């Protein structure tokens, strides 16, 4: 928790100056972008105070992006059977890029080798001002640090005089996942995680507390980053925007309580290969740590984090209700996410480290959030 001290005069002055400078436009609005980050930020500079991240060290400095076969998946398996009505696969454009969407999951297929995309993605986020807290070339995964999204911060000489006094109370970070496909084609996934600043107490008090709480991942920001990455690669902005376009998706997941009423499962109306991939992206969006995975057994070995169990503000009443019984807190722990292929459907459940059905409220919270991302 961060404790901040402010005088009433500073608050009134801030409001007054904000009113004078509100008419100033930000470069982001002129460009039509939602994500605005400082390009002057260096990865060596201290980041804003946020909940601590669980950072995995680089496992290998060599560039070795896994192929789809390494992860137990292939495009033919992923695409087989009846495709959902919301899936969207555009033809390869003249720039060698194709946008693919399946439900809430979308990515770019780029006619380039994975190591080339890795370097371009790294430089793209560095150019936006991000540093990196995790880079794992062996797994094709990198994760940025937290940066404030300054989309709504006013500009102009009044705002410049006050320096960093203005704040949006929003912070973002991104995970990049790169997969090797056939014919030197790479798949690029970008997932978003967000924080929001919530204050407690009155401005008239000498002290008030401020906490950073997780907020829902933003698919529009993810799509925007894919679009901006294409522009960074030299694709025209209009063409990049046309390539990356989002539409509505149909609901395909249900949260089901077992007859024993002791635990829940998520039922997805899709075959196993499709669901397996969508789960990977959902776990990235949720901010969970995937310690390992075994596709042949249908298991993700996951770990919760402090950020995750705090939940989102929209879940506050619901979270309070499920914690009203004897189990007063959710737990930072390791679980097995079991993914079972049942005819044309996929059933997802949570087991403990021993492989037994987990009936804790923590596992219910995981499934509740997972259902929100898969439906």
Q: Map out the domains of the chain as residue ranges.
A: 28-157+166-199+211-247, 251-375
Identify the CATH assignment for 251-375 out of 3.40.50.720, 1.10.287.3510, 3.40.50.1970, 3.30.310.170: 3.30.310.170
DSSP letters, 89-142, are EPPP-TTSEEEEEETTEEEEEESS-HHHHHHHHHHHHHHHT--EEEEETTTTEE
The Cα 162–Cα 234 span in angstroms is 36
Instruction: Give the pLDDT confidence score for residue 192 in this predicted structure.
Output: 95
371 and 254 Cβ atoms separated by less than 8 Å: yes
The Cα 350–Cα 299 span in angstroms is 10
- Tokens representing 304 are 């919760």
Instruction: Give the pLDDT confidence score for residue 190 in this predicted structure.
Output: 96
Angle between the N-to-C axes of helices 219-232 and 114-128, in degrees from 0 to 180, rounded to the nearest 10: 110
The Cα 143–Cα 155 span in angstroms is 29
| 191-215 core/surface letters (b: 16 or more CB in 10 A; e: else) | bbbbbbbeeeeeeeeeeeeeebbbb
Q: How far is CA 272 from its chain centroid?
A: 22
User: Is 70 exceeded by the pLDDT of residue 343?
Assistant: yes
Instruction: Give the pLDDT confidence score for residue 22 in this predicted structure.
Output: 43
Burial class from Cβ neighbours inside 10 Å (0-12, 13-18, 19+) for residue 104 reads buried
Q: Which of 13-27, 87-101, 111-125, 230-244 has the lowest mean pLDDT?
A: 13-27
Q: Residue for token digits 């991942």? A: 217
Bridge partners of 256? 265
Identify the CA nearest to 140 among candidates 108, 117, 169, 160: 117
Q: Which of 11-20, 63-72, 148-157, 306-315 has the lowest mean pLDDT?
A: 63-72
Residue 186 region, left (φ>0) first, then alpha (ψ -120 to 50), else beta?
beta
28 and 151 Cβ atoms separated by less than 8 Å: yes
CA-based radius of gyration for the chain:
22
Instruction: Read off the pTM.
Output: 0.58
Pairing of strands 2-4, 208-215: antiparallel
Mean pLDDT of the residues in the chain:
74
The Cα 171–Cα 129 span in angstroms is 13
The Cα 165–Cα 210 span in angstroms is 15
Instruction: Give the pLDDT confidence score for residue 183 in this predicted structure.
Output: 75
pLDDT band at 124 (very low <50, low <70, confident <90, very high): very high
Q: What is the mean pLDDT of residues 317-323?
A: 45
Burial class from Cβ neighbours inside 10 Å (0-12, 13-18, 19+) for residue 336 reads buried
Q: Which residue has the higher pLDDT, 362 or 82?
A: 362
Q: Which CATH architecture has domain 28-157+166-199+211-247?
A: 2-Layer Sandwich (3.30)
- According to the 3-state scheme, what is the secondary structure of 241-299? HHHCCCCCCCCCEEEEECCCCCCEEEEECCCHHHHHHHHHHHHHHHCCEEEEEECCCCE
Instruction: Give the pLDDT confidence score for residue 338 in this predicted structure.
Output: 97
Give residue-wise pLDDT tens across range 188-233: 999 999 998 887 766 666 667 778 888 888 989 999 999 999 999 9
321 and 224 Cβ atoms separated by less than 8 Å: no
Instruction: Give the pLDDT confidence score for residue 279 in this predicted structure.
Output: 93
Q: Which residue has the higher pLDDT, 229 or 72?
A: 229
Give residue-wise pLDDT tens across range 125-184: 999 999 999 999 988 999 999 999 987 765 555 555 555 556 778 999 999 999 988 777
In the three-class reduction of DSSP (H, G, I as helix; E, B as strand; rest coil), residue 2 is classed as strand
Please report how many Cα atoms fall inside a 13 Å half-sphere around the Cα of residue 50, on the Cβ side: 22
Bridge partners of 102? 105
Give residue-wise pLDDT tens across range 9-61: 444 454 444 444 444 444 444 467 888 897 554 444 444 444 433 333 333 33
Identify the CA nearest to 229 among candidates 315, 340, 119: 119
- Tokens representing 20 are 């004078």
Sign of CA dihedral 109, 110, 116, 117: negative
């Amino acid at each position: 928790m961060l404790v901040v001290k402010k005088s009433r005069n500073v608050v009134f002055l801030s409001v007054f100056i904000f009113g004078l400078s509100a008419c100033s436009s930000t470069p982001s609005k002129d460009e039509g972008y939602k994500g605005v980050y400082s390009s002057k930020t260096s990865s060596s500079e201290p980041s804003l105070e946020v909940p601590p991240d669980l950072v995995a060290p680089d496992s290998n400095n060599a560039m070795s992006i896994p192929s789809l076969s390494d992860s137990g998946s292939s495009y033919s398996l992923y695409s087989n059977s009846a495709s959902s009505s919301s899936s969207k696969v555009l033809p390869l454009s003249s720039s060698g890029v194709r946008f693919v969407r399946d439900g809430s999951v979308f990515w770019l297929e780029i006619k380039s080798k994975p190591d080339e995309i890795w370097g371009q993605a790294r430089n793209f986020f560095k150019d936006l001002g991000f540093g990196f807290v995790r880079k794992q070339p062996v797994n094709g995964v990198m994760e940025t640090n937290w940066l404030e999204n300054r989309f709504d911060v006013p500009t102009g000489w009044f705002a410049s005089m006050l320096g960093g006094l203005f704040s949006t109370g929003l912070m973002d970070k991104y995970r990049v996942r790169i997969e090797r496909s056939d014919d030197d084609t790479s798949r690029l996934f970008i997932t978003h995680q967000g924080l929001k600043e919530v204050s407690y107490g009155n401005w008239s008090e000498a002290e008030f507390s401020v906490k950073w709480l997780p907020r829902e991942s933003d698919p529009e920001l993810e799509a925007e980053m894919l679009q901006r990455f294409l522009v960074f690669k030299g694709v025209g902005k209009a063409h990049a925007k046309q390539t990356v376009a989002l539409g509505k998706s149909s609901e395909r997941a249900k949260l089901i309580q077992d007859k024993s009423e002791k635990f829940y499962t998520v039922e997805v109306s899709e075959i196993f290969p499709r669901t397996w991939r969508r789960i990977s992206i959902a776990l990235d969006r949720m901010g969970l740590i995937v310690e390992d995975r075994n596709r042949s057994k249908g298991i993700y070995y996951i770990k919760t984090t402090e950020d995750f169990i705090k939940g989102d503000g929209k879940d506050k009443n619901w979270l309070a209700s499920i914690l009203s019984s004897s189990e007063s807190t959710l737990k930072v722990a390791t679980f097995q996410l079991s993914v079972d292929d049942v005819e044309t459907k996929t059933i997802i459940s949570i087991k403990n480290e021993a492989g037994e059905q987990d009936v804790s409220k923590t596992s219910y919270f995981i499934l509740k959030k997972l259902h929100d991302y898969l439906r």
